[in-house]
Chain A
Amino acid sequence: MNSPILVLGLGNILMQDEGIGVRVVEALEQGWTFPDHVSLVDGGTCGMDMLDIIASHRHMVVVDAVKTGAPPTTLVRLEGDAVPAFFKGKLSPHQVGLSDLLATLRLQGEGPESTVVIGCVPAGMRITLDLTPEVAAKVPDLVRMVLDELRALGVEPAPR
């Protein structure tokens, strides 16, 4: 049996590039089909509501806006020790409380085995639904990065 994999898009779609994670998940859903053990979830800015979803998956690929100090539109891949720092809020601009969520899951012995963060440095965080053109142009690259992660986990996504 295949280990369940979660692709989790995070961010607030009301705040321009802050919603990039959700937009990438939407693009993945529109362009690709995945085997049943892969779940695509638009997590928005939810916290405790996602405990159950995360607990029921073995591997997690998070897509989010990331502030590393690098120039806007820089693409980022984080794994290993960089992931806890990300979830503590130093790099993620919204206050989703995922660090608490993951700590809670560890306490329960239900944390994911692997977590990778795929991100993009935002170019604008105004109150509007549309991404900035610069970051919108990066969506195909981010989609490719997520597909690569899935392939590394043994999944072969098929184009729609």
Chain B
Amino acid sequence: MAQRITVDPITRIEGHLRVDCEVDGGKVTKAWASGQMWRGIELILQGKDPRDAWVFTQRICGVCTTSHAITSVRTVENALKLEIPLNAQYIRNMIQGAHAVHDHIVHFYHLSALDFVDIVSALKADPAATAKLAQSLSDWPNNSVADFATAQKRLAAFVNSGQLGIFGSGYWGHPAMKLPPEANLMAATHYLQALDYQRRINKVVAILGSKTPHIQNVAVGGVTNPINFDSQSTLTLEKLMYIKTLIGEVGDFITKVYIPDVCAVGALYADWTAIGRGVVNYLTTPDMPIDTKGTKFALPGGYIENADFATFKPITSFSDPYFEQGVKESTKHSWYETGSGPLHPYKGETKPQYTDWQDDGKYSWIKTPTFYDKRAQVGPLANVLAMYAAGHARTKFWVGEVLNTVSAIAGAKVGADALHSTIGRHAARAVRCVVLHEELSNQWNLLMENIGKGDTTTFNKPVFPKEEIRGYGVHEAPRGMLSHWAVIKNGKIENYQAVVPTTWNAGPRDEKGNLSAYEAALMDSPVADAEQPLEVIRTMHSFDPCLACAVHLTDTESKSTYQVKVA
């Protein structure tokens, strides 16, 4: 007999996500993902000066403030057909690269590793055996017996204090936890080390962004960082050299710790390469523009259909009609008025119509975006697959490295098809992290070279016409492709829509009843214990859900505790 499981909310994510599953014979047979908060940024922006929109959009979310800031200014620049000085492109590229590297490290270690790593089991590990295991995977200098013994003592003190805090929602001792104690201790120790490295790379965002946690340096037309090596209040040579040092320090952590850890978890949980496949149409945007017009990019992007590289179609610019015309949003299963059917974001409406939960009707505050009427998955996996299909050399290199390492640890050949899975999304995020980190260094070099040529321009002044103009901005954010869409008239915003990554992945069923990436990825997933649906959590976390920007808060009280209901 089918059992109904409700997990509400999914923890260790930003925002409020509810997941319902029907489980029959130990497998998920039906799935619903629902955003439980409503977002109204669109309404706030109507009538505002488009030059200020980014100040408000960066408040949508507490995690991706920089992503929404950069995407918003790109939107207005696109509407104005405004060129952006090279220095401004490089500085923005470095901000977004550093932010994403920080975000990916935090996601793997602090938000999702505990789905696979058992902290309580780590306390039983032998530090010497742990060091032997870790040294077989990497020559990272902080993999000594003393490192693991010290970390184990700190973890034990923390766990024994009874204040589990960050570790409080783990499923310790769950039958799906399979790592030996030594692998658990290795990963838990790196969890502690990762705290330090994510802070270092985030300093790059703080220095370039002038203020933290909300950056202050972007503007429609460029950035507001004056470049003058002789003045202390500007972007000086000293600051740029410090940024280079920070970038360098984090590189070894990614290649010698993050990548080997993901490979080890992937190999030791090899069955998870066949779980969580979901929607295998992948959509991603090119990013890190390296010209003033947004037509040349350091990192390619595009669309892949049905997991087939041969179908790859590149998106070639920040104003490619292939992308601009392909996006629509449906509200058939969302708590908004349905009107005349799916709408292009320029015409998008946000009129709430709450109905309570309906399995076959409306059940989410998230809208349902489609690309040429098809569901698509976005995120690091989509990004890595598209860059691979486009022939991006460093992506191909790192995908090869990761698959070879996983195969070696598992003792069996693991091919690229394994990437279309729950564990594959973690592997792809690690590949994207190292590729972005390498590109961060490239962007630093490009900026220095350009300044060396005597170019210190960082801003082109925008001028708004009286007539109606429209534009969109895209960005490959840590959770996937983010787009903002604006209609501007008389220098004021008429309409503004944000189609965020989690909307693509977590939206409810579409017009034809097709499942979202979240829902499809849960289908057929094993569930060993309906009271402790760790498997559901694993697949959800692999997408790195961030609901704060997909929807916003309506329910303010009594939802602070995590519940699993089994009916």
> Do A and B come from the same complex?
yes
Chain A interface residues toward B at CB < 8 A: 12-15, 18, 41-53, 55, 67, 88-90, 93-97, 99-100, 102-104, 106-108, 125, 127-129
Instruction: List 10 interface pairs A-B (beta carbons < 8 Å), by A numbering.
Output: A12-B553, A41-B213, A44-B59, A45-B548, A90-B560, A95-B14, A95-B548, A103-B166, A127-B552, A128-B44
Residue of B nearest to A102 (CB): B165
Count of chain A to chain B residue pairs whose CB atoms are closer than 8 Å in the complex? 105
Other-chain contact of A14, B14, B56, B556, B557 (Cβ < 8 Å): B56
Known: A45-B548, A93-B556. A107 touches B213 (CB 8 A): no
Known: A95-B16, A104-B195. A49 touches B202 (CB 8 A): yes
In the bound complex, residues from chain B placing their C-beta under 8 Å from that of A108 are 192, 195
Bound-state Cα–Cα, A121 to B110, Å: 32
Contact A44 B198 (CB under 8 A): no
**Known contacts A15-B553, A44-B59, then 8 further A-B pairs from the complex at CB < 8 Å, ordered by chain A residue:** A14-B44, A14-B56, A45-B59, A48-B102, A100-B165, A104-B165, A107-B165, A127-B41
Chain B interface residues toward A at CB < 8 A: 14-16, 40-41, 43-44, 56, 59-63, 65, 102, 106, 110, 154, 158, 163, 165-166, 192, 195, 198-199, 202-203, 206, 212-214, 548, 552-553, 556-557, 560
Bound-state Cα–Cα, A31 to B88, Å: 34
Contact A127 B44 (CB under 8 A): yes
In the bound complex, residues from chain A placing their C-beta under 8 Å from that of B110 are 48, 104
Bound-state Cα–Cα, A45 to B439, Å: 29
Bound-state Cα–Cα, A13 to B438, Å: 36
User: Distance (Å) between the CB of B560 and the closest chain A CB?
Assistant: 4
Bound-state Cα–Cα, A96 to B63, Å: 9
Residue of B nearest to A49 (CB): B213
In the bound complex, residues from chain A placing their C-beta under 8 Å from that of B40 are 14, 127
Bound-state Cα–Cα, A55 to B202, Å: 14
Residue of B nearest to A104 (CB): B166
In the bound complex, residues from chain B placing their C-beta under 8 Å from that of A15 are 552-553
In the bound complex, residues from chain B placing their C-beta under 8 Å from that of A128 are 44
In the bound complex, residues from chain A placing their C-beta under 8 Å from that of B41 are 14, 127
Nearest 5 Cβ contacts at the A-B interface: A103-B165, A127-B40, A45-B62, A49-B213, A89-B560
Contact A96 B62 (CB under 8 A): yes
Bound-state Cα–Cα, A42 to B59, Å: 11
Residue of B nearest to A126 (CB): B40
Residue of A nearest to B161 (CB): A106
Residue of B nearest to A43 (CB): B213
Bound-state Cα–Cα, A29 to B44, Å: 25
In the bound complex, residues from chain A placing their C-beta under 8 Å from that of B63 are 46-49
Other-chain contact of A44, B165, B166, B199, B214 (Cβ < 8 Å): B214
In the bound complex, residues from chain B placing their C-beta under 8 Å from that of A44 are 59, 62, 65, 213-214
Other-chain contact of A95, B15, B43, B192, B198 (Cβ < 8 Å): B15
In the bound complex, residues from chain A placing their C-beta under 8 Å from that of B158 are 106-107
Bound-state Cα–Cα, A128 to B154, Å: 45
Bound-state Cα–Cα, A118 to B478, Å: 34
Bound-state Cα–Cα, A47 to B62, Å: 6
